[in-house]
Amino acid sequence: MEVEAVICPTCRQQQQKPSVPVPVQIQKADIGGFMKSEAFDFPEPEGSGFIEVVATFASILLLVVTFPLAIFFCFKVVQEYERAVIFRLGRLRRGGARGPGIFFILPCIDAYRCVDLRTVSFDVPPQEILTHDSVTVAVDAVVYYRVYNPTVAVSNVVDYSHSTRLLAATTLRNVLGTKNLAEILSERESISHTMQAALDEATDPWGVKVERVEIKDVRLPVQLQRAMAAEAEAAREARAKVIAAEGEMKASRALKEASDVMVESPAALQLRYLQTLNTISAEKNSTIIFPIPIDILTPFFSGALKKK
């Protein structure tokens, strides 16, 4: 007697349905008193193979056999500012990073890596940059960053710290290469914000958050410094001449107004003579000068002209 297996249409559709990646919520680090989370499309893990089951069983058996001593190697502690990313037989364990506090690992099959969540600062080495107006300058900067997702920082990049340093140096050269020398010297804050946005966007897939970028120093060639100093000195001298000319113009206007007042009152001119004489005698000079009005000499000049 033959028996035919009957499969319902719903079961047949479920068997033929391909596996679809399931979005997994990976919890980010608790920074600043609040939790962050981001969805990453990781494929649903397959079932454990025979070798994995045997290895896990052997690890548990080893733990039981060496019970009192193995406890000291299975329990680990991470600080408040650290997180531990655990791999079991090369696979990332579910639940994200562990910590802070104590966590448990199985001997021989579990490996973990601690990630520091504190803000890290580093100096970008001086970069020789050719500006947009063909001037060679050496610029260095300082970058502040932190890890906000330790799981991604360990899984997606080999060394997030070294990669961030190289990317910061490259970004500094790319950003300053599009600026003129005057813009580099006067717009440091805007350049820092531009670099911070570019670095933050590039390091986001690595689980790194760039918090701040600051331009430290801009070193100019010695010849260019001398040329700029000469230009600044010439500009100061030009401004001084303009100010002196304006002062002379205002003084001449004041003298003109004073002469108009003295013409109306001849006694004012005599008083001015006496005041000048008093000023000269106050300096204890041996020479005393008596000013003679020009009006006294006018009849003599007029008589000489008539004789001619």
Whether the per-residue pLDDT at 8 is higher than 70: the answer is: no
Banded pLDDT at 294 (limits 50, 70, 90): low
Q: What is the pTM of this model?
A: 0.61
Note the pLDDT tens digit of each residue in 167-193. 999 999 999 988 888 888 888 899 999
State residue 56's pLDDT score. 82
Calculate mean pLDDT across residues 195-217: 93
Cα(52)–Cα(87) distance, integer angstroms = 13
- H-type alpha helices, 44-176: 50-65, 67-74, 150-155, 160-176
Cα(208)–Cα(160) distance, integer angstroms = 8
121-224 topology per CATH: Tetrahydropterin Synthase; Chain A (3.30.479)
Note the pLDDT tens digit of each residue in 34-46. 334 343 444 444 4
State residue 272's pLDDT score. 76
Cα(246)–Cα(54) distance, integer angstroms = 97
State residue 295's pLDDT score. 67
Note the pLDDT tens digit of each residue in 111-121. 999 999 999 99
User: Are the beta carbons of 195 and 213 closer than 8 angstroms?
Assistant: yes
Note the pLDDT tens digit of each residue in 219-237. 888 888 788 888 888 888 9
Q: What is the DSSP letter of 204?
A: G
User: Are the beta carbons of 122 and 143 closer than 8 angstroms?
Assistant: yes
State residue 257's pLDDT score. 84
Q: Which residues pair with 138 in a beta bridge?
A: 128, 219
- H-type alpha helices, 123-265: 150-155, 160-176, 181-186, 188-203, 222-264
State residue 17's pLDDT score. 43
Half-sphere exposure of 237 (CA within 13 A, CB side): 6
Mean pLDDT of the chain: 79
State residue 201's pLDDT score. 93
User: Are the beta carbons of 120 and 209 closer than 8 angstroms?
Assistant: no
Calculate mean pLDDT across residues 41-60: 69
- H-type alpha helices, 265-293: 266-281
State residue 150's pLDDT score. 93
User: Are the beta carbons of 103 and 120 closer than 8 angstroms?
Assistant: no
Torsion-angle region of residue 96: left (phi > 0), alpha (psi -120 to 50) or beta?
left
Element (H, E) at 305: helix 294-307
State residue 82's pLDDT score. 92
Banded pLDDT at 27 (limits 50, 70, 90): very low
- H-type alpha helices, 92-138: none
With a pLDDT cut of 70, the percent of the chain lying above it is: 76
Closest CA to 114 of 175, 2, 190, 29: 29
Torsion-angle region of residue 275: left (phi > 0), alpha (psi -120 to 50) or beta?
alpha
The residue behind tokens 């820092």 is 192
- H-type alpha helices, 83-142: none
Phi, psi of 44 (to 5 degrees): -65, 130
Banded pLDDT at 260 (limits 50, 70, 90): confident
Sketch the domain layout of the chain as residue ranges: 25-116, 121-224, 262-308
Banded pLDDT at 94 (limits 50, 70, 90): confident
Banded pLDDT at 147 (limits 50, 70, 90): very high
Whether the per-residue pLDDT at 279 is higher than 60: the answer is: yes
Note the pLDDT tens digit of each residue in 69-88. 878 888 889 999 999 999 98
